[in-house]
Amino acid sequence: MWRMEIVGLERIEAAARLLAPVIRRTPTVGSRVLSERAGAQVLLKCENLQRTGSFKPRGAYNRIANMPAAERARGVVAASAGNHAQGVAWSAAELGITSTVFMPVGASLPKLVATRAYGAEVHLAGDSIDESLLAAQEFAERTGATLIHPFDHPDIVAGQATVALEILEQVPDVGTVVVPTGGGGLLAGVAVALHAVAPQVRVIGVQAAEAAAWPDSLAAGKPIRVSRMSTMADGIAVGQPGAVPFAHVAELVSEIVTVDEDSLSKALLLCLERAKLIVEPAGAAGVAALLSTDLRDLPGPVVTILSGGNIDPLLLTRVIGHGLSAAGRYLAMRVTIADRPGALSALLGVVGRAGASVVDIVHSRTGMWLAVDEVEVSLTVETRGPAHRDDVLDALRDAGFRVHAEL
């Protein structure tokens, strides 16, 4: 078993005092729909409303502020897909020192622009956070700047742990805390704080199934690198847990669950529609777990942390569409009709009588699989949910149309 000194409550409380003048005390808000789903009161801890749009400044500021003055004078460097980058850039600016950030080539444009706006010098390097981190480490060795790791340092863990102290103040009888998990700094901090102050609270980590390094790592008893990552939740797409977080999580967290891409998009859509909160896919991972996994009979109240809200509007548009499809509110299909006058009108008539609204339509005569007298219509319609989606498909098939549903 991987062993390392566990961060203590005294260090976390010191971080809370240090951060109090500069970090927002983010609200917790109730969610009726999630409460009904979980069978217990569910509240959302809105770190998407934190400075820079995520929980990351808690750890970054605590780490940088605790550096000796001579070390701070040489500046800091970080690697991040966006949230840690902004946290480091903002923290360095607040403390009056220079910062350099390495981001993956495909980093979100709004996160890139925001990081520069906070005063960091930004370089694009590599296709993943891990590759950007290698570039940041080389820069640190070459220039003497201090590498501010996104999760693998005790001061980072202690800073992130202050989220848990706020939760305990806002929801003193909290029974379960659900935590989006990438490298593990937030999960480790929450687990340490709750174990010290309220050990009865159940802590559950949540990873994207397409970037889930933690289950295998915990089974192996040491951090293991995941072989492949492909998820919209870039904020928790980390190839290998950090050694410091691993020591805490292995000791204190007994449950980590995974969620798929459909669940992430549906969770983001729910936050937008029902809670009126803009949350990035990684930040919605806890909500996705409550919606899609077998998390039942949880000790309540349940608090799930919305860890970030920095999402590219273009990605938000795509994820909303994906979420609507996953929730059965978009239906994309290909329908074969006869190539004669009135056939398309008849198809749309069935759709209209079934109560669906057409979003877009493409009429094609060129498919190799079509007979000479056939046409394929690609049709996307709005539906009112899975049951209505099935009703529309049944109505078309009952009317004699050949239908292939794509989503």
Q: Which residues contact 199 (CB under 8 A, 6 or more apart)?
A: none
Q: Is-catalytic flag, 307?
A: yes
Active-site option among 217, 263, 307, 325: 307
Angle, vertex CA 59, rays to CA 54 and CA 62, nearest 5: 130
Spatial distance between the Cα atoms of 5 and 377, rounded to a whole number of angstroms: 63
The answer to whether 88 and 80 are in contact (CB under 8 A) is: yes
Cα end-to-end span (Å), the chain = 44
List the 146-147 sheet strands across, edge first: 121-124, 99-103, 76-79, 146-147
Q: Is-catalytic flag, 56?
A: yes
The two tokens of residue 57 are 């400044």
Q: Hey, is 20 helix, strand or coil?
A: coil
The two tokens of residue 200 are 């009865």
Q: Which residues contact 31 (CB under 8 A, 6 or more apart)?
A: 42, 43, 44, 274, 275
Active-site option among 45, 56, 111, 266: 56
Residues with catalytic annotation? 56, 307
